[in-house]
């Protein structure tokens, strides 16, 4: 029988939809979520969808496997999950009193292949994205052209941005891959680049989704032993994971941010929603 530690090392099972159902599944999800997004844009901002939100030729295909689940090489899955994800972020901003159309500068930290950032294009802020994986940053530089400023960044701060440069910063599934003291250094860098009063949203793993291969007893023991944090996997951007309880997330961010909310999303990551203290 596998030891609890061995079981834990294999945590974070990918969401698998058996073929050929998976093909129909993602097609239906894409149609549904892009439809939801289109309606939302029209009602909230009076705009429609951009080509980068609908054209399969703008998706990275199997290149995604450098940074994420290969299921997203399917354009339907790429667009479906991106549209659903951005709807969460935009709604969270609005729920906390920020009209996304009022923002001047927005940064996605760890933008990958632009699965989410592209959905800001019709809204109109000045867009920035950066990533530590050169293939991802290079792809996005070409994809966005002069419509967003994309940078490759180093594994450790600082980023090449001014203090308080951004009205809004978000990172989807990035702090989930940064461990130990590096998470604190990157948190401090996020503080530096966002303006006082600005909203930051960082996604975080969800225990019911991403740790559900552990027994209740194993998870309790791990969290008791590690101050509410579980880190595991291999070094590198893909298979390197950090989970923290709500209390541990609050401990990480609250020196500089008001923690407005930690929102759960069905079968997905939590979002830690923060406002930079003055
Ligand atoms: C799971 S992918 C998510 C990509 C994108 N945010 C999305 O949702 O499609 C994680 C991304 O974070 C990037 N990343 C990890 N550590 C980083 C760091 N220290 N600085 C910038 N990017 C980082 C990886 O290169 C990768 O592109």
Q: What span, in angstroms and rounded, lies between the C-alpha atoms of 61 and 108? A: 21
Contact 103, 125 (CB under 8 A): yes
Report the helix count and the strand count for the chain, using DSSP H and E. 8, 9
**Bond from prior residue into 20 cis (ω within 30 degrees of 0):** yes
pLDDT of residue 3: 42
Ligand 1: distance of its center to the CA of 237 in Å?
7
Q: What is the pLDDT of residue 20?
A: 60
Quick one: which of 12, 63, 4, 72 has its CA closest to 234?
Answer: 12
- 15 φ/ψ angles, rounded to the nearest 5 degrees: -75, 115
Q: What is the predicted pLDDT for the residue at 132?
A: 96
Tell me if residue 196 falls in helix, strand or coil. Answer: strand
Report the mean per-residue pLDDT for the chain. Answer: 92
Question: 67 in helix, strand or coil?
Answer: coil
Pick one of 2.40.50.140, 3.40.50.1370, 3.40.50.150, 1.10.645.10 as the CATH number of 4-8+16-276.
Answer: 3.40.50.150
Ligand 1 pocket member 136 (CB < 6 A): yes
Distances from the Cα of 157 to the Cα of 1, 45, 117, angstroms: 42, 35, 21
Task: Look at the alpha carbons of 150, 121, 192, 131 in this order and tell me if their dihedral is positive or negative.
Answer: negative
Bridge partners for 7 per DSSP: none
pLDDT at 5 over 50: no
Tokens of 123: 């809204």
Residues 38-44: contacts with CB under 8 Å, at least 24 apart = 40/87, 40/90, 41/122, 41/123, 44/90, 44/94, 44/100, 44/101
Strand partners, 230: 243
Q: Is 270 in the pocket of ligand 1 (CB under 6 A)?
A: no
Report how far residue 77's alpha carbon sits from residue 211's, in angstroms, rounded to the nearest whole number. Answer: 23
* Residue 207: pLDDT over 80: yes
The whole-angstrom separation of Cα 203 and Cα 92 is 12
Pairing relation of β-strands 149-152 and 240-244? unpaired
> Quick one: tokens of 180?
């130990």
Read off the pLDDT band of 28 (50, 70, 90).
Answer: very high
- The pLDDT score that the predictor gives to residue 15 is 55
**pLDDT above 60: residue 2:** no
pLDDT at 68: 82
Nearest-angstrom CA–CA distance, 155 and 185: 11
Residue nearest atom 20 in ligand 1 by C-alpha distance: 132
22-26, 116-120, 133-137: the lowest-pLDDT one? 22-26
User: pLDDT at residue 29 above 50?
Assistant: yes
pTM across the whole model: 0.93
Q: State how far the Cα of 72 lies from the Cα of 78, in Å rounded to an integer.
A: 5
pLDDT at residue 7 greater than cutoff 50: no
Report residue 67 as tokens: 């940074």
pLDDT of 39 strictly over 80: yes
| Percent above pLDDT 90 for the chain | 84
Indicate if ligand 1 lies below 6 Å from the C-beta of 168. no
| Mutate-to-test residue for ligand 1 from 66, 74, 109, 112, highest number of ligand atoms within 8 A of CB | 112
Q: What is the pLDDT of residues 212-238, one digit of tens each?
A: 999 999 999 999 999 999 999 887 767
Q: Is any atom of ligand 1 closer than 6 Å to the C-beta of 129?
A: no
CB 202 within 8 A of CB 274: yes
pLDDT at residue 8, as a whole number: 43
Average pLDDT over residues 243-260: 98
Taking residues 97-126, report their average pLDDT. Answer: 97
Residue 33 banded pLDDT, cuts 50, 70, 90? very high
Mind listing the pLDDT tens digit for each residue in 49-83? 999 999 999 999 999 988 888 888 899 999 999 99
Residues 6+ apart with CB under 8 A from 85: 115, 116, 172, 268
Task: Give tens-digit pLDDT for 152-199.
Answer: 999 999 999 999 999 999 999 999 999 999 999 999 999 999 999 999
Instruction: Delimit the domains of the chain by residue range.
Output: 4-8+16-276
């Amino acid at each position: 029988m596998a030891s609890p530690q061995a079981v834990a090392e294999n945590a974070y099972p990918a969401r698998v939809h058996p073929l050929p159902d998976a093909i129909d599944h993602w097609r239906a999800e894409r149609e549904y979520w892009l439809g939801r997004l289109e309606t939302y844009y029209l009602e909230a901002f009076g705009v429609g969808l951009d080509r980068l939100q609908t054209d399969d030729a703008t998706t990275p295909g199997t290149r995604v496997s450098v940074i994420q689940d290969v299921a997203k090489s399917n354009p339907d899955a790429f667009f479906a999950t991106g549209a659903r994800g951005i709807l969460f972020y935009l709604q969270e901003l609005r729920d906390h009193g920020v009209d996304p159309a009022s923002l001047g500068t927005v940064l996605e930290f760890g933008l990958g292949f632009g699965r989410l950032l592209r959905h800001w294009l019709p809204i109109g802020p000045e867009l920035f994205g950066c990533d530590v994986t050169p293939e991802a940053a290079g792809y996005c530089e070409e994809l966005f052209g002069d419509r967003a400023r994309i940078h490759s960044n180093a594994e450790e701060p600082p980023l090449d941005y001014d203090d308080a440069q951004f009205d809004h910063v978000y990172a989807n599934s990035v702090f989930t891959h940064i461990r130990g003291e590096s998470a604190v250094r990157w948190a401090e860098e996020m503080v530096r680049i966002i303006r006082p009063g600005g909203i930051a949203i960082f996604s975080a793993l969800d225990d019911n989704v991403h740790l559900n291969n552990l027994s209740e007893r194993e998870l309790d023991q791990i969290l008791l032993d590690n101050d509410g944090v579980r880190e595991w996997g291999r070094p590198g951007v893909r298979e390197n994971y950090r989970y923290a309880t709500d209390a541990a997330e609050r401990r990480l961010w609250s020196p500089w941010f008001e923690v407005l909310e930690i929102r759960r999303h069905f079968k997905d990551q939590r979002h830690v929603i923060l406002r930079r203290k003055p």
